[in-house]
Amino acid sequence: MIIEQKNLDEIRVDIFKALADPTRLEILRLLKNHGDEMSCGEVGDRIQLTKSTASYHFKILREAGLTTTRKEAKHKYVQIYPDTFSTYLPGFLDSL
């Protein structure tokens, strides 16, 4: 039971670390308002991020389980992963 709780706590820490950045909150807000996946380039362009900075933020969000990314040819597409929010942060997306 202690190991299981530790894993849950580690998940929570990763989620809150990812959410503790205004740029990542802005990315999530943009994705939520768009309602569907967006290309990583489009997200970066809309919030004026360099490609490397956007990539860094996408990685943090993905590793925390807050987004998913799929690759199609040369393009990557990102979208919110709602299961993480409903499990760990119910109602959070509505507050964005």
Domain spans in the chain, listed from the N-terminal domain onward: 2-95
Whether the pTM exceeds 0.85: the reply is yes
2-95 in CATH: which number?
1.10.10.10
Residue closest to 11 by CA, chosen among 96, 88, 92: 88
- Cα distances from 7 to residues 13, 32, 61, 63, 64, in angstroms, run 10, 27, 18, 14, 13
Per-residue pLDDT tens digits for 29-70: 999 999 999 999 999 999 999 999 999 999 999 999 999 999
Q: What tokens appear for 23 in the block?
A: 């740029």
Burial class (CB in 10 A: 0-12, 13-18, 19+), 93: middle
DSSP per-residue string spanning 61-81: HHHTTSEEEEEETTEEEEEE-
- pLDDT value at residue 1: 46
